Structure 1
Amino acid sequence: MKSLHRPLLALIAAGALALTGCGTTEEPASGSSSAAPSASGAPVSVIDARGKTVTLDAPATRLVGTEWNVLENMASLGTMPVGAADVKGYNAWVQAAKLDDSVKDIGTRGEPSIDTVAALDADVIVATTDLPEAAVAQLEKLAPVVVLKSADASNQIGQAIANLNTVAALTGTQAKATEITSGYESALAAGRTALETAGLKGTRVAFADGWVADGAVSIRPFAKGSLITDINTELGLVTPWELEGDEAYGLASTDVEGMTKVDAEHFVYITNSADGDFTDELKSNAIWNSLAFVKAGNVHRLEDGIWMFGGPASMTQYVNAIVASLTK
């Protein structure tokens, strides 16, 4: 199984199943980000996840992003980055806000090419707390760096919205950020109504992703505290996962045998055609085929390109996809 869909820390700590995603915090007072330009062309000042004040002379137009949720926010706000980490992987996994052909690939999410970034003459580089401090220090020699907190399992939705708002403050696109957030809230309200009308309020939905390595299937539950489960809860769905997720992303780990302990009515997952479908490996697995949701035909693969650790654009895409899948 390819590792494109794993968040950055899982790439850095090879073999770890429950690690990172993307985001920042909800309130500026919590030490993540704040502030905005007072007028077009006016100076911009934000406080990042390190508690560091970063000031730009004017809203940024040449941005570099080192993580996919940051890049999604840039693109969804209409501020196409000049440089992006792992463009090929982004284009495979993030369809809510596509990157155009002008964007320069700066290398991997965990190890951006300093030489490549240096040539881009960026106004600002936006990173996350998943990027090693040594890499951040190198990037700061090239341009101002704003570091956003990667994730917080206590407030994933608010964090994702604040992350978008920080990028909007840096680029002077606050009105567009409000539009995107309002779109998510509208989709959520419509989805909640559609599920309730279909008699699905309170349905137990287990969301996970997975991969195949050396012929064995690993399953990664999105437990309580994950962004996906927080969205499902807002939709009126219930997570049956009793596993404890990590404190940042709410991600856990299990295998096919562990699925027998899950009291789920539906199983929902996202994979990518480029990486293959891990459930294909389970089609002849007796344990998998004995599970109630499998026997009932309630296994739902959502469309490619919904980033499970994304910003409000991906969140809206996910809401529409899961509601359509459960109600069809």
Structure 2
Amino acid sequence: MVHQHRIWGELMEAVVARRPLTYTAPRAPNGKIRVGFMSSDLRAHPVAYFSLPLFEHYDRDKFEVYCYSYYTGQEDPTQKRIAGMVEGFRWNPEINDRDAAQVIANDQLDMLIELGGSTHMNKITVMAYKPAPIQASWLGYPHSAGLKAIDYLIVDPFMLPEREGLLIEKPLVLPHGWFALSAGAFNERVAVQNPAPVARNGYVTFGTANNPYKYSRDMVRTWAKVVAQVPNSQFMFVRPEGGSESFRNNLAAIFAEEGVSADRLRFEAVRGAHLPFYNEMDISLDSFPRPAAPPPARACGWVCLSSPWWARPCSSGSAIPAS
């Protein structure tokens, strides 16, 4: 995985070398450190939920914060909220990579932190132009981006790779935790119901709200083995893809291989309204080796089992198709 990232990084570095940025004279010092955050997920998205505490609480006397988004959808309340917290919010959905990098360079940052790696709409190639003297990756893509222009990958002791060579960037290790989750991530207030579902139903209900691109056949088979070991138990998939017949059939086929019949599977085809369904699960199971972040974090108060993979940079497994 690291090797593939680096192959891509070398290609991008060759491209940007042909079109270098222009830099203006240094800005007049004002005693503040100017930091930029680049992400197309500063909206109703997990990256925004995890970064909100930073935007809410940074020291305005010591720092100036600028944000850069290339999100192609409609502005939402979360984006408006973040834009109101920072000195500058540059939203350019149609801009090309080189011009996007020049916009950042013109703001004369001291440090630029990108929050999405190679994820959708993030424009990670912008980092190859080196629009800021110090650059780092954090939060949205816990893996090496493959670019030498990125100086640091922000991690915590649990995410730090176990062996050298898994990162191109220098690890910048936070002492306690990689992120914080603010109350803003819990706009939907859902009380924990008692008694537990097993007491109401007479059987144990396992479940997940994780995105199917994090599924692999081996992982689903592991879930199926868990269900098979608990007599009469059921498994609930809370995903909009549950409305797809092929999605349901693909999962049912894997569970059947482990002796779990289709009538023990439940599909709730909801989008963005999954929290109430945790009250119908006794145990929520996380995916692996590509774990979730928001579903387990927002499931505080319910039982959610994750895996040691959450503590390591990793890649997604092959997805079970939804259609």
Rg (Cα) greater in structure: 2
Give the TM-score normalised by structure 2. 0.39
Give the TM-score normalised by structure 1. 0.38
Which protein has greater RCO, CA pairs closer than 8 Å, 6+ apart? 1
